[in-house]
Amino acid sequence: MVDPAIFEHLQTKINEDSAVREELRSKTQELEKQGRTTQSILSRAHSIPVAQIQATVSDAEKSIFAQVSTIGEISGVASNQPYYKYNSMWTKHMQDTVFSIILCGWLGGFKHVREESQALLTIENVGEILKGKTPDRDAFHLTIEEYLHAMISLIEELARLAVNSVTLGDYHRPLEISQFVKDLHAGFQILNLKNDSLRRRSDSIKYNVKKVEDVVYDLSLRNLILTTKSENQS
């Protein structure tokens, strides 16, 4: 009644699946570890004046390139599989990596992929850094959702940086940040998000925008913002 091949076949499938997961698991753990290193380098930005940030940015770039090579290895394994089958194993780490990349870019890094005046690395810039593929192929790539998650993390981080810039005596940077996060917020507002993790996290954007506005308010109330023509820098 039962063809034994049925169950042999199922077992083979299960074992293949496990082997792929095992391989991906060890690589994503490596990526996670490297990601923590990058984050700790980037968090120095909160206590370093803009003028001296370049060394930190270079360190961060180096650490990110180590992550990129791990992502290359994950990509090597994942490209042989349907993309979304294992996507959930690395998507969180991918978000964190992209966050590090765009934060580093905002701080002045990755000059080779962007215009001098460009504050936010586009998804294409990030793709170039990751050496990723275009999203149409059923292979490893960066998804829009991952990029948007990274942007939300960037907004959170910049809200903190606005406060800390003031502590460092930098009263100009909060203005740049304020304009930047408002522009990003405007972008998020035109998205039709469904009730998913992106939606829940994007709810935090308005609070972070307000946090930055409050810093700007405190500064302007006390006439700490110089009336210069620099407001369009960002």
Query: Within its chain, how far is the Cα of 37 from the centroid?
Result: 15
For the chain, how long is the longest CA-to-CA vector? 86
Residue 227 near another protein by CB under 8 A: yes
Handedness of CA 158, 162, 168, 172 (dihedral sign): positive
In whole angstroms, what is the distance from residue 94 CA to residue 99 CA? Answer: 8
Residue nearer to another protein on the CB measure, 4 or 52: 4
Give the other-Cβ count within 10 Å of 180's Cβ: 19
Phi-psi region of 143 (alpha: psi -120 to 50; beta: other; left: phi over 0): beta
Which listed range, 46-54, 65-73, 97-105, 143-151, lies at the site for another protein (CB under 8 A)? 143-151
In whole angstroms, what is the distance from residue 181 CA to residue 159 CA? Answer: 8
Q: How far is the CB of 207 from another protein (least distance, A)?
A: 10
Residue nearer to another protein on the CB measure, 50 or 193: 193
Give the footprint of another protein on residues 104-133 (CB under 8 A). 120, 122-123
Q: How far is the CB of 161 from another protein (least distance, A)?
A: 19
Contact pick of 105, 184, 202, 205 for another protein (by CB under 8 A): 184
In whole angstroms, what is the distance from residue 70 CA to residue 59 CA? Answer: 17
Which residues in this chain contact another protein in the complex, by CB under 8 A? 1-7, 9-11, 13-15, 17-18, 21-22, 25, 82-85, 87-89, 120, 122-123, 136-138, 144-145, 148, 175, 179, 182-184, 186-188, 190-194, 210, 213-214, 216-217, 220-221, 223, 225, 227, 231
